[in-house]
């Protein structure tokens, strides 16, 4: 395991993100604090990775790793080997590469993610992580 060190005090607001990306039915607000990227995801009802992001990512499944906390809404996950789970408000989650995901119900899925976030919503990122 790699040790992570925070070198300086840093406070930022998602209301004034360093980057904002708005792919189909989604908003990604990205901030960098010290050397860490953090994202707020807002996925609209009807958003599904295989319909909204797959054409841009050019992979069969989402190849990003996710580590996050769900603020509100619900997201259904299905891995490439068929395992399913639902993320709901106040859940923390870790998802490996190789999954589809979709918003459940009429409420947007809102989450804060801490891993690999800088690449979200970038054309053809193919799961590769980048700096903001």
3-state secondary structure of 64: coil
Q: Which of 116, 6, 12, 130 is nearest to 64 (CA)?
A: 116
Tens-place pLDDT, residues 83-94: 999 999 999 999
Tens-place pLDDT, residues 109-130: 999 999 866 666 555 554 444 4
Confidence of residue 67 (pLDDT cuts 50, 70, 90): very high
Higher pLDDT among residues 115 and 75, named by residue: 75
Q: How far apart are CA 100 and CA 115, in angstroms?
A: 17
At CA 114, angle to CA 55 and CA 127, rounded to 5? 30
Instruction: Name the DSSP class of 62.
Output: B
Q: How far apart are CA 7 and CA 1, in angstroms?
A: 19
Q: Which of 2, 113, 5 is nearest to 64 (CA)?
A: 113
Domains (ranges, CATH) in the chain?
19-119 (2.60.120.10)
Asked if residues 75 and 109 have their Cβ atoms less than 8 Å apart, the reply is yes
Which pTM does this prediction carry?
0.85
Tens-place pLDDT, residues 13-57: 999 999 998 888 999 999 998 888 899 999 999 999 988 787 777
Dihedral angle over CA of 53, 56, 58, 62, nearest 10: -30
């Amino acid at each position: 395991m790699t040790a992570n060190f925070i070198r300086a005090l840093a406070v930022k607001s998602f209301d004034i993100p360093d980057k904002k990306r708005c792919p189909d039915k989604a908003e990604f607000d990205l901030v960098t604090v010290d050397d860490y990227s953090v994202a707020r995801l807002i996925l609209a009802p009807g958003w599904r990775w295989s319909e909204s992001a797959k054409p841009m990512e050019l992979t069969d499944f989402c190849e990003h790793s996710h580590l996050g906390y769900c603020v509100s809404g619900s997201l259904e996950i299905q891995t490439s080997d068929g395992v399913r789970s639902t993320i709901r408000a106040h859940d923390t989650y870790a998802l490996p590469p190789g999954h589809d995901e979709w918003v459940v119900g009429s409420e947007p899925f809102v989450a804060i993610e801490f891993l690999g976030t800088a690449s979200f919503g970038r054309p053809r990122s193919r799961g590769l992580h980048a700096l903001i």
